[in-house]
Amino acid sequence: MPEAEPVTEKNERGEHDPDERGHFGPYGGRFMPEALIGALDELSAEYDKARLDPEFTGEFARLLSQYAGRPSLLTEAVRFAEHAGGARVFLKREDLNHTGSHKINNVLGQALLTKRMGKKRVIAETGAGQHGVATATACALLGLDCVVYMGEVDTERQALNVARMRLLGAEVIPVGTGSRTLKDAINEALRDWVTNVDTTHYLLGTAAGAHPFPVLVRNFHKVIGEEARAQILELTGRLPDAVAACVGGGSNAIGIFHGFIDDPGVRLVGLEPGGKGIETGQHGATLTEGTPGMLHGSLSYLLQDDDGQTTEAYSISAGLDYPGVGPEHSWLKDTGRAEYRAVTDAEAMDAFRLLSRTEGIIPAIESAHALAGALELGRELGPEAHILVNLSGRGDKDVDTAARYFGLVDEEKL
Amino acid sequence: MSELRAMFEHTRAENRAALVGYLPAGYPDVEASKDLLAATIDGGADLVEVGVPYSDPVLDGPTIQTAADAALKAGFRLKHLFEVVESVSARGGRAVVMTYWNPVHRYGVDAFARDLDAAGGLGLITPDLTPDAAGDWPSIAERYGLDRIFLVAPSSSEERLHLTARAATGFIYATAVMGVTGARESVGAGAAELVRRTRTHTDLPIGVGLGVRSREQAAEVAGFADAVIVGSALVTKAAGGTAAVRALAGELAEGVRVVSAQPS
Q: Is B60 a catalytic residue?
A: yes
Give residue A246's pLDDT band: very low, low, confident or very high (50, 70, 90).
very high
- What are the distances in angstroms from CA A258 to CA A64, A224, B95, B99, B221? 18, 9, 49, 37, 52
Does the CB of A309 have a partner CB in chain B at under 8 Å? yes
- For residues A135 and A220, the answer to whether their CB atoms sit within 8 Å is no
- For residues A386 and A363, the answer to whether their CB atoms sit within 8 Å is no
Single out the catalytic residue among B3, B31, B60, B142.
B60
Residue A293 exposed, middle or buried by CB count within 10 Å (0-12, 13-18, 19+): buried
Collect all residues of chain B within an 8 Å Cβ-Cβ radius of residue A309: 54-55, 72, 103
Q: Using one digit for the tens of pLDDT, what is the confidence trace for B72-103?
A: 999 999 999 999 999 999 999 999 999 999 99
**H or E element in which residue A147 lies:** strand A145-151
Helices (H) and strands (E) in chain A, counts: 16, 14
Does the CB of B181 have a partner CB in chain A at under 8 Å? no
- pLDDT above 60 for A12: no
Average pLDDT (A214-224) is 98
Backbone angles phi, psi at B244, to 5 degrees: -65, -40
- pLDDT above 90 for A160: no
Q: Judge: A35–B55 Cβ closer than 8 Å, yes or no.
A: no
Give residue B1's pLDDT band: very low, low, confident or very high (50, 70, 90).
low
Q: Using one digit for the tens of pLDDT, what is the confidence trace for A330-347?
A: 999 999 999 999 999 999
- pLDDT above 50 for A10: no
Highest mean pLDDT among A179-183, A358-362, A406-410: A358-362
Q: Judge: A30–B133 Cβ closer than 8 Å, yes or no.
A: yes
Strand partners, B136: none
The lowest-confidence range among A315-319, A326-330, B33-37 is A315-319
Does the CB of B131 have a partner CB in chain A at under 8 Å? no
pLDDT above 70 as % of chain A: 96
Predicted local confidence at residue B2, as pLDDT: 85
Q: Verify cis geometry, omega within 30 degrees of 0, for the bond prior to B28.
A: yes
Please name which of A24, A116, A12 lies closest in space to residue A328, comparing C-alpha atoms.
A24
Please name which of A146, A277, A286, A92 lies closest in space to residue A208, comparing C-alpha atoms.
A286
Q: How far apart are CA A125 and CA A203, in angstroms?
A: 8
- pLDDT above 80 for A411: no
- pLDDT above 90 for A15: no
Rounded to a whole number, what is the distance in Å from the CA of B261 to chain A's nearest CA? 34
Q: Is B49 a catalytic residue?
A: yes
- For residues A395 and A353, the answer to whether their CB atoms sit within 8 Å is no
Predicted local confidence at residue A6, as pLDDT: 41
Q: Using one digit for the tens of pLDDT, what is the confidence trace for B179-205?
A: 888 777 777 778 999 999 999 999 999
Angle of helix B30-43 relative to helix B78-90, nearest 10 degrees, comes to 30
Per the rule left: phi > 0, alpha: psi between -120 and 50, beta: everything else, B182 is: left
C-alpha torsion sign, points A54, A59, A61, A62:
positive
Average pLDDT (A284-311) is 98
- What are the distances in angstroms from CA A326 to CA A35, A128, B75, B207? 23, 18, 30, 36
Task: Report the catalytic residues of A.
Answer: 103, 125, 392
Give residue B264's pLDDT band: very low, low, confident or very high (50, 70, 90).
very low
- For residues B51 and B23, the answer to whether their CB atoms sit within 8 Å is yes
Single out the catalytic residue among B3, B14, B49, B220.
B49
Does the CB of A175 have a partner CB in chain B at under 8 Å? no
- For residues A246 and A127, the answer to whether their CB atoms sit within 8 Å is no
Predicted local confidence at residue A7, as pLDDT: 40
| Assembly ipTM | 0.95
- pLDDT above 80 for A3: no
Predicted local confidence at residue B263, as pLDDT: 43
Backbone angles phi, psi at A306, to 5 degrees: -65, -20
Collect all residues of chain B within an 8 Å Cβ-Cβ radius of residue A39: 155
Predicted local confidence at residue A157, as pLDDT: 79
The lowest-confidence range among A10-24, A99-113, A138-152 is A10-24
Predicted local confidence at residue B116, as pLDDT: 98
Predicted local confidence at residue A158, as pLDDT: 85
Predicted local confidence at residue A413, as pLDDT: 59
Closest chain B residue to A37, measured at CA: B156
In single-letter form, the type of residue at position A303 comes to L
Give residue A170's pLDDT band: very low, low, confident or very high (50, 70, 90).
very high
Q: Using one digit for the tens of pLDDT, what is the confidence trace for B24-60?
A: 999 999 999 999 999 999 999 999 999 999 999 999 9
Q: Using one digit for the tens of pLDDT, what is the confidence trace for A70-110?
A: 999 999 999 999 999 999 999 999 999 999 999 999 999 99
**H or E element in which residue A150 lies:** strand A145-151
What are all long-range contacts of A77-84, with beta carbons under 8 Å and residues at least 24 apart? Answer: A77/A355, A77/A358, A77/A359, A77/A361, A77/A389, A79/A358, A79/A359, A80/A354, A80/A355, A80/A358, A80/A359, A80/A371, A81/A378, A82/A358, A83/A354, A83/A358, A83/A375, A83/A378, A84/A374, A84/A375, A84/A377, A84/A378, A84/A379, A84/A387
Q: What is the mean pLDDT of chain A?
A: 94
- For residues A356 and A57, the answer to whether their CB atoms sit within 8 Å is no
Give residue B260's pLDDT band: very low, low, confident or very high (50, 70, 90).
low
Q: How far apart are CA A375 and CA A387, in angstroms?
A: 9
Collect all residues of chain B within an 8 Å Cβ-Cβ radius of residue A177: 62, 65, 69
Q: What is the mean pLDDT of chain B?
A: 94
